[in-house]
Every structure is written in C-alpha cells, then in structure tokens.
Amino acid sequence: MRSHLNTQAPLVHEVLAAVLRVRSATVQVLLWQRALEPHVGRWSLPGGRLRMDEDVETSVRRQLAEKVDIRKLSHVEQLAVFSAPDRVPGPRVVATAFLGVVPTDVDPDVPEDTAWHSVDDLPRTAFDHRDIILRARDRLRAKLSYTTIGSALAPASFTISQLRDIYSAALGYRVSATNLQRVLSRRGVLEPTGEIAPPGRAGGRPAALYAFTCNGVHVTDAFAVLKPPSNKRRG
C-alpha cells in the first residue's frame, strides 16, 4: 500500500501557533502582519514549514523562538489539523495548529511586524487563521474547568483577586474569588507562598500570595466545572 508514496503532487506541511495570553481583561493572540502576497497586510499566525528532521511540536517551538521572541511558553499543545484543499492559494498546504500560552507577567519582545490583538476584536486575518484563533480560545476556555491550564496563564505567584481577573477574562464571565479559591484549593493545585502582597494605594487588606503546586498542565483527577453564574436549573 505504501509502494508508490513519492509519485504524487507535492504537499507542504506547516505548523501554526495561536499563542494566547490574558492582558487588560481580555484574551489576546500574537499575530504578525504579512508583507508579501497573498493577503498582504493581513494578520496571520506565526509558524512555518515543517522540516524533515523534526516533529510538529519541535517545529512550532523552534519557529516561535526564531520568528518572535518567545522562548518560554508556559504551555503548548496540539489543537487540530486544518486541511481544506483551498485553505491557502497555490500549492497544497496542510497545517497542524497549536495552542500556546504565555503568562500574564512576561512581556516578550516582539518584532516590528508583530503585535498582540484582542481575540474579541480581531483585525483582518489571513487564510483560515481566524477559525484557528477562535478554536484555540474555545479550547483554553474548556480546559480551564478541568485542567490546571490556569497555571499557564498566571504568573509564578499571585493574589486570588488577580487570579480571579485572569479566569474572568479568559472565560468571558465574572467568577467569584471565594469560589475559585476553594475549588482550586480543594483540588490541591493551589498553595499559599506565605508572602503578602502590598495593598493598593486605595488601601484595603493586603492579599496573600499564592502559587500553583503543579508544574505543567494536566487534567484534574476528578474534574468538575466552573459554571457560568446565571442560568439556573430547568425543570
């Protein structure tokens, strides 16, 4: 069955990364503006061609390190394959899309043609990249409920209020600090560092600093849900 594998039209495999972070109470994605046709001026996801000696994850990490200055992503995972025959003009290109996450506290230098954009207010995007971005955001939202992917969004140490703001921005609805605190604590993924954050200049009780106990993102054993507030039960 694999006897004449090389006898067909050429096919290119590229990797693309939707790198997300939370900033200014919104989810942002890293995009760069195309300088060449096709789709000049439109914004597109970083990535590029898969080399022959690397797998897709190695490739996406390399290209992110090369093209934009992001060496310490807090999380990377496969998202999906995008393979519509006409997804890009010209020769066939199949893409493996990734979800990347950067903590709120780091602010990596990015090249001139690169910038963060709010996912809720995207500029004109190239090819099918808009679909990929939205898919990445949905994945992030879903995983906040039953994994420790929140640890990839948050800085190394934080107050519960800060963490609440991060979760709220990522999920798109207000979550309670009390409940977030208890849910994560009960799961055993949150622990106090012992340190205290200085209060804001408006006063207020100084907040305790917390950190995630886990290294890396993993599924919570008995996972449960952080539900949107409102919609009550139905009969």
Partner DNA sequence: CACGTTTTCGATCCTAAGTCGAAAACCTGA
Partner DNA sequence: TCAGGTTTTCGACTTAGGATCGAAAACGTG
User: How far is residue 131 from each of residues 16, 82, 153, 218, measured CA to CA in Å?
Assistant: 12, 10, 22, 25
232 binds a copy of itself per the rule CB under 8 A:
no
Q: Residues in contact with a copy of itself, total (CB under 8 A)?
A: 40
Around Cβ 158, how many Cβ atoms within 10 Å?
24
Q: By CB under 8 A, is residue 84 in contact with a copy of itself?
A: yes
Please tell me whether residue 159 binds DNA under the rule CB under 7 A.
yes
Residues 27-56 binding a copy of itself (CB under 8 A) are: 36, 48-50, 52-56
Contact flag: residue 224 with DNA (CB under 7 A): yes
User: Is residue 202 part of the contact set for DNA (CB under 7 A)?
Assistant: yes
Q: Does 1 engage in binding with a copy of itself (CB under 8 A)?
A: yes
Report yes or no: 30 and 36 within 8 Å, Cβ to Cβ: no
Least distance from DNA to the Cβ atom of residue 75, Å: 21
| 222 near DNA, judged by CB under 7 A | yes
Query: What CA–CA distance (Å, rounded) separates 227 from 216?
Result: 23
CA-to-CA dists, residue 160 to 10, 164, 208, angstroms? 52, 6, 8
Give the shortest CB-113-to-a copy of itself separation in angstroms.
11
For the chain, give the number of residues: 235
As measured in angstroms, the least distance from the Cβ of 14 to DNA is 39
- Applying CB under 8 A, among 23, 80, 131, 181 the residue interacting with a copy of itself is 80
Judged by beta carbon, residue 156 or residue 196, the one nearer DNA is 196
Q: Based on the shown chain and the rule CB under 7 A, indicate whether residue 218 belongs to the binding site for DNA.
A: no
The token pair that represents 214 in the structure block: 């886990």
Q: Confirm or reject binding of residue 227 to DNA (CB under 7 A).
A: yes
Q: Which two tokens stand for residue 202?
A: 């408006």
Nearest to residue 95, comparing CAs of 129, 143, 146?
129
Among 115, 171, 207, 214, binds DNA (CB under 7 A): 207
Residue 2: burial class (beta carbons within 10 Å; 0-12, 13-18, 19+):
exposed
Give the number of residues in contact with DNA, rule: CB under 7 A.
33
Count the neighbouring beta carbons within 10 Å of the beta carbon of residue 64: 24
What is the rounded distance in angstroms from the CA atom of residue 134 to the CA atom of residue 122? Answer: 10
Spatial separation of the C-alpha atoms in residues 226 and 185, rounded to whole Å: 14
114 is an interface residue for DNA by CB under 7 A: no
Per CB under 8 A, 12 contacts a copy of itself: yes
- 166 binding DNA? (CB under 7 A): no
Q: Does 93 bind a copy of itself (CB under 8 A)?
A: yes
Residues within the interface to DNA (CB under 7 A) = 159-161, 176-179, 181-183, 186-187, 196, 198-208, 222, 224-227, 229-230, 232-233
